[in-house]
Amino acid sequence: MIVVMKPEATKEQIRHAVERVQEMGLKAILLEGTNRNVIAVIGDKRETAQEILAAIPGVERAVPILAPYKIASLEVKRERTTIPLGSGVIGGRRVAVIAGPCSVESRAQLLEVAHAVKEAGALGLRGGAFKPRTNPYSFQGLGRTGLEYLAEAREATGLAVVTEVLSPEQVELVAEFTDVLQVGARNMQNFHLLREVGKVQKPVLLKRGFAATLEEFLLAAEYILTQGNAHVVLCERGIRTFEDHTRNTLSLSMVPTLNERSHLPVAVDPSQGTGKSSLVIPMSRAAVAVGADALLIEVHPDPERALTDGAQSINIPQFQLLMKALRPIAQAIGREL
Amino acid sequence: MIVVMKPEATKEQIRHAVERVQEMGLKAILLEGTNRNVIAVIGDKRETAQEILAAIPGVERAVPILAPYKIASLEVKRERTTIPLGSGVIGGRRVAVIAGPCSVESRAQLLEVAHAVKEAGALGLRGGAFKPRTNPYSFQGLGRTGLEYLAEAREATGLAVVTEVLSPEQVELVAEFTDVLQVGARNMQNFHLLREVGKVQKPVLLKRGFAATLEEFLLAAEYILTQGNAHVVLCERGIRTFEDHTRNTLSLSMVPTLNERSHLPVAVDPSQGTGKSSLVIPMSRAAVAVGADALLIEVHPDPERALTDGAQSINIPQFQLLMKALRPIAQAIGREL
Amino acid sequence: MIVVMKPEATKEQIRHAVERVQEMGLKAILLEGTNRNVIAVIGDKRETAQEILAAIPGVERAVPILAPYKIASLEVKRERTTIPLGSGVIGGRRVAVIAGPCSVESRAQLLEVAHAVKEAGALGLRGGAFKPRTNPYSFQGLGRTGLEYLAEAREATGLAVVTEVLSPEQVELVAEFTDVLQVGARNMQNFHLLREVGKVQKPVLLKRGFAATLEEFLLAAEYILTQGNAHVVLCERGIRTFEDHTRNTLSLSMVPTLNERSHLPVAVDPSQGTGKSSLVIPMSRAAVAVGADALLIEVHPDPERALTDGAQSINIPQFQLLMKALRPIAQAIGREL
Amino acid sequence: MIVVMKPEATKEQIRHAVERVQEMGLKAILLEGTNRNVIAVIGDKRETAQEILAAIPGVERAVPILAPYKIASLEVKRERTTIPLGSGVIGGRRVAVIAGPCSVESRAQLLEVAHAVKEAGALGLRGGAFKPRTNPYSFQGLGRTGLEYLAEAREATGLAVVTEVLSPEQVELVAEFTDVLQVGARNMQNFHLLREVGKVQKPVLLKRGFAATLEEFLLAAEYILTQGNAHVVLCERGIRTFEDHTRNTLSLSMVPTLNERSHLPVAVDPSQGTGKSSLVIPMSRAAVAVGADALLIEVHPDPERALTDGAQSINIPQFQLLMKALRPIAQAIGREL
């Protein structure tokens, strides 16, 4: 930690700040600059919150040197984590495609999509049984029945199931049916939920909050990891910006940056990340090219009759085209699909 | 709803879109423009999701005319809502000040602050017993013990207690001790939590998510209102932007805009909204001047030793100055404090 | 400057980085931390760009300690700057109100507004003769004729004239007619224009770019100051965020923060800053309460027939109400208006 | 245009709004909804500003149906525009790579880079002679001498030269030496400069402003096109968001969206768009995969000694790797490089 004193800080304030650092059991080195005084804080307490030092009188700001996450960090674990997904893994040479409807709407709808995406090469089946909806009057999902259809579709196709869990008390139920627990963007900082999914022995796909920084994203993963669940997939799904030509701004630079900082595999959701079906294929190409380990794709047999997110869902022939388009790109970067 | 067709939409697509609107039991009026065709959709179904119409082939976009919230809307209820707070109300002539430490740290700390803010003119006592922390290694609050201290401080001072609830299963416990349930910014779209606090007969102070639009904010309130709890206070607490001179950008235009759209009272949190103690007094002055019904202020007897948020907490003498500074501003706009 | 080395930086890289710092004539202090190595760089060269140090192999990032602006800084000049404006100043006890139409549309329109705002207590007259328009097909202003009308309105009323200059080659012409040269938000980083207005002996009202940080804003002022023109007013006019209930997000925390960093006076533009006439009065109240030295208000005799920005213009009776509302707020903070 | 009346709009206000539309020579169709009244405005005047209708009393908002740009629009010109670049074009089957140093620093530096990038397969040479710098104390470029070195490098290598023009009065000078005039992000709404480069018979590479929407970007292009210069390349270079792991957020969804709306070719700048050399290769792969027609890459023989932007520049061996990595991706989408 580097503590920058205000230009007008008094000698007394500087002395006091040095003492406060020492009180915390840390080493303080005072650097007297030409215009400013700075205290370098040395020690092993990563958890020494920046906020504590920033509140000392005469301190302008405290600049952390170490990242606040540990278990998620590449400094702590150098080998890349791979996560089992049905017959394959997320984080291996093969780019894992997880496809399916935004919401499970009926048994027939789900089975139709599941067979089609399986045949086209998907490894996982996505589909929401419990839906987080901005509007209380919107369709909220089939609930437990939706989970049963998902399990049936897994039996029928061999696809691994990925579905969202909305609340701590749902974790047990959802974990019974699914292969991967999805934590949605709106819940990325629902810390009770993060702790609960951390206690389950099922992989977690953690979506980035739509206004979360990289550090907050990795700290959310850290909540899960600290509970003993080592299987977390990080999923970039677009952030909120001033842009209005898409529903979100898909920030693909997160993929290589997360790879520089963390050993966890990284997925991309181009459907949520753009909100427009016409952009799903080009942005999926980009996501594979940038190095994503997995893609989440919304596929619906008849998007204009989808109960949720029709505008960003592609239909089955479009999904077949997508898979065909992605294969040579995966090969171009030494992967497969 | 206005459905804008793509410039290249075929006659067949336009005919199909009109039929789809009629299938939903709505009236469609086709407007043939010089360059574009537009379908005006008339009917009473506010819940007819924009997303359904936007997914019809040949449709460029669907523009809603009506706001998606109802009960929260000034169109539905014209009289301003007032919400009981201890010996006063939120939403009346008097600007309600709710002050206290970020976290309840000890019995002594809490009582000291409670007495001091009471004496300076506060109506409510804030203080976190359960803390949502970005970092899993940070102090997470005293929990139930913190709630007990809050209840004791209420007994001792007559201040109404405002404290945060983090999870649906905590609602019952927290409601037992507090006067107002606070839903934090990170939980503004935790829909399970919103529904649970909607079932309780205690007022809810709902903080704006740090990337929530006005519409999303009012829809979150609507979740609570639809469960039967009519007592919701909306609280602006700053949004995430590119600005780096403050922790958040406090968006004061929310106050008059919420007043144009909704009958619910509006609070402002200048402590969270700036992250810097030196800005709390000037931004509080601005919040009162713009028309806030209530203020949330973080006050700590010794901010540099606060376990959380010391940098944005003011001390007791500063709180006294704050109250003194706000009174003439309240009077200048025909209110009191 | 603090140079943070990557965790995997080699001893050789660290040695090399220290040498590079020394080559620049600066002192390097190596701090060996538990997990990271950090080099504290001490010396007087503020201009030693962060970017140069950040490019050294093995360096993770370079954190500047000193602000990059000098002349604009409160560290360099402690006394507050006041700037002459007609019969008063900007930066004194009196809050200066500068009002007038978005665009000068005709002699009659301008004189009507000028007389009305003068009578209501304005010190300055604003009005665009050259208009920066997003759309090339929109009205671009009356040009030189507009300047002549502004000069005539000054003669008739005694108001000081504030008008925008768009391009370096216009500076001489506009300076001939105006009292204050306005540099618009879109030109805040038009460095040629900044240099030209820095060479003129007329005050400059510099609007914050709509995506400029505080530091970039002060560096833009520094461009003007380095040319010898000491009379710069900084104007907050709203930033671009994800918010959609206003045209911009007016960031009032800029006012006290600029006052903490710089001696230059600060104005606020609530018309541009909200884009809605109904918000101009409440946000003006807030701007005065937070400590603004001046306000820019768009006033039009008949806003619905304004050629530009009608939706954010208030009419003359509304301006009279505004002035009446602001006086007690100014008094409440020890100022007048 | 769709004019949405406020819920409380009176009959008189509605009648008045209809008349105002008709006064403008447009057809008004009043749609009486269940809760709201809406006026559909039909006619050919694209320039009828939304702002004029929005200012009519009783109007809540005016929603434009047509895009405000014309010449840039795919509705007006269906064939894709290609733009000559040295021995090739931008907008053809071959992805054009334009590489070179951020700033021209010396004759030797420029020639070394030029020969190297030519050999590796670049079509164009980038390099700044006039530099827009946020900080007035930073290196501002070699000026005319830099232009001369660029011209010499073109002679020596056959590469087309792309360099920035900062100010209207520089256009003639820069056009004399360069093949393509670059307008930088900070100048995207410098309308005088846009008009001047529109009068020259040299292609213009227009960078997106870092807070510009898609519509504002195309309107900036329209300024150039209306002056008679049909050769505009649109360049995505990252936007300003809350993200702090990169200098900007590179928004790759702009590429396919621009292709849906406009016939102009689209370039991407991954160096500016990330600010980090380690991200340039992965984000370049993504840019080619998403469909960019051209890439701008900052290459420096010794990035740590670059006078500007060293942290985002790659060196010559890295550029060779980049080109090698991009070729199979270009092939995977049916293009070459």
Point out the residues of chain C with pLDDT beneath 50.
none
Averaged pLDDT for residues A104-114? 97
Q: With CA atoms as reference, report the closest residue to A290 among D299, D213, D274, D234.
A: D274
Instruction: Among C40, C241, C242, select the one facing A40 at the smallest CB separation.
Output: C40
8 Å CB contact of D133 and C191? yes
In 3D space, the residue among D256, D262, D222 whose CA is nearest the CA of residue D79 turns out to be: D262
CA–centroid distance for D165 within its chain:
14
Give the C-alpha separation, C38 to C32, whole Å.
7
User: What subunits make at least 3 CB pairs under 8 angstroms with C?
Assistant: A, B, D
Question: Which ipTM was obtained for this model?
Answer: 0.95
pLDDT digits (tens, 9 = 90+) for A271-327: 999 999 999 999 999 999 999 999 999 999 999 999 888 899 999 999 999 999 999
Residues of chain A contacting D243 with CB distance shorter than 8 Å: 213-214, 239, 251
Q: Classify the phi-psi angles of A38: left when phi > 0, otherwise alpha if psi is within -120 to 50, otherwise beta.
A: beta
Work out the percent of chain C whose per-residue pLDDT is above 70.
98
Query: What pLDDT score was predicted for residue D279?
Result: 98
Q: If you average pLDDT over every residue of chain B, what do you get?
A: 94
Q: Give A268's pLDDT tier (boundaries 50, 70, 90).
A: very high
- Structural domains of chain C sorted by starting position, each given as residue range(s) with its CATH number in brackets: 2-63 (3.30.70.1140), 83-332 (3.20.20.70)
Over chain D (337 residues), the average pLDDT of each successive run of 10 is 90 92 89 85 69 87 88 93 95 98 97 98 97 88 97 98 96 97 97 97 97 97 97 98 97 98 98 96 98 98 90 96 98 97
Distances (CA, A) of A141 to A102, A164, A175, A306, A308: 10, 11, 17, 12, 9
For chain A, positions 139-178, list CB contacts with chain D under 8 A.
Answer: none
Report how many Cβ contacts below 8 Å link chain C to chain D. Answer: 106
Q: Does A135 touch chain C (CB under 8 A)?
A: no
3-state secondary structure of C336: strand
Tell me if D168 and C168 make a contact (CB, 8 A cut-off).
Answer: yes
Distance of alpha carbon C221 from alpha carbon C183, whole angstroms = 10
The DSSP letter of residue C78 is -
Give the per-residue pLDDT at B66.
84
Asked whether the beta carbons of B204 and B180 are under 8 A apart, the reply is: yes
Contact C75 A7 (CB under 8 A): yes
Number of residue pairs across B and D with CB atoms under 8 Å? 48
DSSP-derived letter for residue D199 is T
Residue B95 confidence (pLDDT) above 80? yes
Q: From the list B189, B211, B226, which residue is nearest A240 (CB)?
A: B211
- Which residue in C26, C34, C210 has the most chain A C-beta atoms within 10 A of its own C-beta, making it the best mutation to test that interface? C34
B200 has a pLDDT exceeding 60: yes
For residue C192, the Cα-to-chain-centroid distance in whole angstroms is 17
DSSP assignment of D65-77 equals -S-S--TTBTTT-
Mind listing the pLDDT tens digit for each residue in B126-155?
999 999 988 888 888 999 999 999 999 999
Q: Is B195 on the interface with C (CB under 8 A)?
A: no
Per-residue pLDDT, A48: 57
Provide mean pLDDT across the span B98-110.
Answer: 97
Residue of C nearest to D58 (CA): C304
Q: Pick the residue from chain C with its C-alpha nearest to D57.
A: C304
Section B269-298 average pLDDT? 98
Judged by a CB distance cut-off of 8 A, whether residue C331 touches chain B is yes
Set of chain B residues whose Cβ sits within 8 Å of the Cβ of D64:
none
Handedness of CA B136, B137, B139, B145 (dihedral sign): positive
Q: With an 8 Å Cβ cutoff, is B49 touching chain A?
A: yes
> Which of chain D's residues have a Cβ under 8 Å away from the Cβ of B31?
29, 40, 42
> Cβ distance A175 to A200 under 8 Å?
yes
**Residue A27: how many other CB atoms lie within 10 Å:** 13
pLDDT tens, position by position, C19-48? 998 988 888 999 888 778 999 888 766 555
Contacts of C43 in chain A (CB under 8 A): 34
* pLDDT of B47 above 60: no
What pLDDT score does C137 carry? 86
The secondary structure of residue B187, as a DSSP letter, is G
Among candidate residues D200, D137, D171, D204, the one with its CA nearest the CA of residue C168? D171
Q: Which of B31, B34, B35 is facing D40, going by the closest CB pair?
A: B31
What mean pLDDT is predicted for residues A18-27? 89
Nearest CA among C253, A238, A220, C246 for reference residue B248: C253
Nearest CA to A71 out of A247, A225, A286 is that of: A225
- Of the candidates A242, A254, A279, which has its C-beta nearest D253's C-beta? A279
Q: Indicate whether this model's pTM tops 0.80.
A: yes
Query: Is D36 in contact with B7 (Cβ distance < 8 A)?
Result: no
Min distance D268 CA to chain B CA atoms (Å): 22
CB neighbours of residue B282 within 10 Å:
22
**What is the arithmetic mean of pLDDT over B205-229?**
97
The residues, ordered by sequence, that sit 6+ positions from C12 with a Cβ below 8 Å of its Cβ are none
Chains touching chain D at 3 or more Cβ pairs under 8 angstroms? A, B, C
- C34 touching A, CB under 8 A? yes
Q: What is the pLDDT of residues C86-144, one digit of tens each?
A: 989 999 999 999 999 999 999 999 999 999 999 999 999 999 999 998 888 888 899 99
Q: What is the pLDDT of residue B45?
A: 66
Q: For residues D307 and D303, what is the distance between their CA atoms, to the nearest angstrom?
A: 9
Q: What is the Rg, in whole angstroms, of the alpha carbon atoms belonging to chain B?
A: 23
SS3 for B9?
A: coil
How many angstroms separate the Cα of D305 from the Cα of each of A238, A326, B29, C37?
36, 40, 66, 22
